[in-house]
Structure 1
Amino acid sequence: MAPTVSTVSPSQGPTTGGTTVTITGAGLTGATAVRFGGTPAASYTVNSSTQITAVTPAHSAGSAPVTVVNPTGTSNSVPFTYVTAALPTVTAVTPSTGPMSGGTTVSVTGTGLTGATAVSFAGTPASFTVNSATLITAVAPVGSAGAAEVVVTTPGGQSAVSPGSYFFYAASPVLQSAVPSLSPTAGGPTVTLTGSNLLNASAVLFGSTNATTYTVDSSTQISAKAPAGTGTTQITVVTPGGTSNPLPFAYVAAPTLTGLAPTGGPTSAGTVVTLTGTGFSTATAVQFGMTAVGFTVVSDTQITATVPGGPAGPVTVTVTSGGGTSTGLTYTRVAAPAI
């Protein structure tokens, strides 16, 4: 009894051939040939007496009768339609940058994307979903820093590389230093961050707080205004390449100055004064009026400083630290008695 063919799925494919089709029917065991319009299939496998898997040969556009031959005869025919499939095109990849670790979901737009069988980034296969003839959603695989051509394969062939078909893998940002590494709790100082791969930064974070004002000076430097905060935290930078390593940063309260000993002295330089208060451990300056003087931080509550020479009368003493400047106390210079 001759074999019979009931269905061919899919029922159409490109004129270039290469479509894998499933032929169902009866009496298919022992098939010696599968033909598409008289042309032998490129290859075929007899799965069972009711199913054959075949790869279509090249054929001119139009309907081609599919038949199966075995020692008992030739089956009835079921049509398979050959269509002229246009090559797919990729016109844009959005977003066009992402980390080397992969995982970025991108929209691949173009034409002729229906039936896509593969999407690759620089030759590496990507997972993807065909949304329409003009849109594919793909997940970027792991890649190397630099440009990666995005290629879509359909039954019509592979898309050609175009200016809009590139995805750029960005290296991870690296931070090396933050100067200064302290700020008043109210924020405000400009912090210079140095490192590498800092271009296109989308955020500079002090803990979880984004610095609302920052400038990417170069691939190795960012200037950021510290936002308000408290306690110790970490600075990180976010770029298309990911999130950088953290650098320590601390918010400190302004120092308080509560005592001077002695509170006065001669107009000549050289008197050593002991300053008492709080928040002195990060002191950066001690001033008598407008004059900065040498000082020694004895502890968080004590500093010793040498009074500069100056005219007789009161002068305001202040301490400045990473947290700001203290309120002032008065030191009085007394002129030597006239003889």
Structure 2
Amino acid sequence: MPISPNQGPSGGGTSVIITGTNLSNASAVRFGTKPATITANSPTSVTVVSPSGSGVVDVRVTTPGGTSNPLPFFYVPAPLKTGVDPLSGPTAGGNVVTITGTGLTTASSVSFGASTAVPTVVNDGQLTVVVPAGAAAGPVGVSVTTAGGVHNGVTYVYVDGPTITDVDPASGPTSGGTAVTITGTSLTTTGSVTFGGNVAPFTVVSDSTVTTLTPPGAAGAVDVVLTNDGGSDTAVGAYTYVAGPGI
């Protein structure tokens, strides 16, 4: 007498089909000591809604002819997320995040707002997932669905890639140390600024302004690249290193 599915959330509510013979007029189906709600019955099957429970319980069907042998049903605890890393990424998606928590072994899907992805389960406490594209920049709820239910409560932020609209001043000495203001859009999560591939220290002033000090560089025009959680933008030849006078 098979039972399908043979597992479900500890809160109950799973529609379970029990198949076999001589099941007509089933008067009761018990999951352990708890009765289940019978929703359909035929000579070869009984459909019920599982009650709440925990662990592994015996399922028995009672008909006018007696009570069946037991079948095991496994209650799966609801998942619990304790962390998402990283907490933000590009609106286009495609980056990998790690979700940690408990009860993740049977994870079947992870939703980022309205977008859903299939995770890779590492172990009961960890899974990884490729973030799907978001509808727009901004925060969305993250939910994990397992055989034990759905858990929400963590926020992920979709971030637009940055744009550089101005670099001021546009030139300075090869020794570096020039204070430069970069203006643009989506600069809040700036993670790095480079001048000709050389990393520069920076301060985020606002979503549209970043200040920085140029590192030393060779004479000539160089690209300025700004990277944030959503990607990067390159201002080609936007800054020129000027050699000092020689005598």
* TM-based fold match above 0.5: yes
**Residues 311 and 194 of structure 1: CA distance in aligned 2, closer, same or farther (over 3 Å):** same
- For 2:53, what is the secondary structure of its paired residue? coil
- For 1:265, what is the secondary structure of its paired residue? strand
Residue 59 of structure 1 corresponds to which residue in structure 2? none
The match for 1:332 among 240, 243, 247 is 240
1:233-268: CA deviation from partner (whole Å, max 9, x where unpaired): 111011111110231122222111111122112222
The match for 1:216 among 117, 121, 132 is 121
Q: What TM-score results when the alignment is normalised by the length of structure 2? A: 0.91
The match for 1:193 among 92, 99, 110 is 99
Determine the C-alpha separation between the residues in 2 that align with 1:125 and 1:333. Answer: 80
Q: How many residues align?
A: 244
- For 1:245, what is the secondary structure of its paired residue? strand
Q: Is the 8 A contact 1:266 1:334 kept in 2?
A: yes
The match for 2:139 among 232, 243, 248 is 232
Of structures 1 and 2, the larger Rg is shown by 1
Runs (4+) of structure 1 exceeding 4 A deviation are: none
Determine the C-alpha separation between the residues in 2 that align with 1:116 and 1:225. Answer: 47
The residue identity in structure 1 corresponding to 2:84 is A
CA-based RMSD? 1.8
Superposition pairs of residues 13-52 of structure 1, within 5 angstroms: none
Larger CA deviation: 325-334 vs 125-134: 125-134
Q: Is the 8 A contact 2:15 2:50 kept in 1?
A: yes
1:55-110: CA deviation from partner (whole Å, max 9, x where unpaired): xxxxxxxxxxxxxxxxxxxxxxxxxxxxxxxxxxxx31101111111111100112
In structure 2, runs of 5+ residues without a counterpart are none
Residue 176 of structure 1 corresponds to which residue in structure 2? 82
State the shift of 1:130 in Å. Answer: 5.9
Q: Are residues 1:126 and 2:36 paired?
A: yes
Q: Is the 8 A contact 2:85 2:99 kept in 1?
A: yes
Determine the C-alpha separation between the residues in 2 that align with 1:300 and 1:318. Answer: 16
Q: Are residues 1:102 and 2:9 paired?
A: no
Q: Is the 8 A contact 1:102 1:139 kept in 2?
A: yes
**Residues 251 and 109 of structure 1: CA distance in aligned 2, closer, same or farther (over 3 Å):** same
Determine the C-alpha separation between the residues in 1 that align with 2:241 and 2:152. Answer: 52
Determine the C-alpha separation between the residues in 1 that align with 2:225 and 2:204. Answer: 14
State the shift of 1:129 in Å. Answer: 4.9
Q: Is the 8 A contact 1:278 1:301 kept in 2?
A: yes
Residue 57 of structure 2 corresponds to which residue in structure 1? 148
Structure showing greater relative contact order (alpha-carbon pairs closer than 8 Å, 6 or more residues apart):
2
The residue identity in structure 2 corresponding to 1:332 is T
1:190-215: CA deviation from partner (whole Å, max 9, x where unpaired): 1211111112112111112112x531
| Percent identity between the two aligned chains | 46
Q: Is the 8 A contact 1:188 1:225 kept in 2?
A: yes
Q: Is the 8 A contact 1:131 1:137 kept in 2?
A: yes
Determine the C-alpha separation between the residues in 1 that align with 2:63 and 2:243. Answer: 96
State the shift of 1:182 in Å. Answer: 1.8
1:159-204: CA deviation from partner (whole Å, max 9, x where unpaired): 223xxx2111111111122222222222221121111111211211
Determine the C-alpha separation between the residues in 2 that align with 1:326 and 1:185. Answer: 15
The match for 1:206 among 105, 112, 115 is 112
The residue identity in structure 1 corresponding to 2:139 is T
Superposition pairs of residues 60-75 of structure 1, within 5 angstroms: none
The residue identity in structure 1 corresponding to 2:176 is A
The match for 1:275 among 167, 178, 182 is 182
Q: What TM-score results when the alignment is normalised by the length of structure 1? A: 0.68
1:12-62: CA deviation from partner (whole Å, max 9, x where unpaired): xxxxxxxxxxxxxxxxxxxxxxxxxxxxxxxxxxxxxxxxxxxxxxxxxxx
Q: Is the 8 A contact 1:113 1:130 kept in 2?
A: no
- For 2:191, what is the secondary structure of its paired residue? strand
Q: Is the 8 A contact 1:115 1:130 kept in 2?
A: no
State the shift of 1:216 in Å. Answer: 1.5
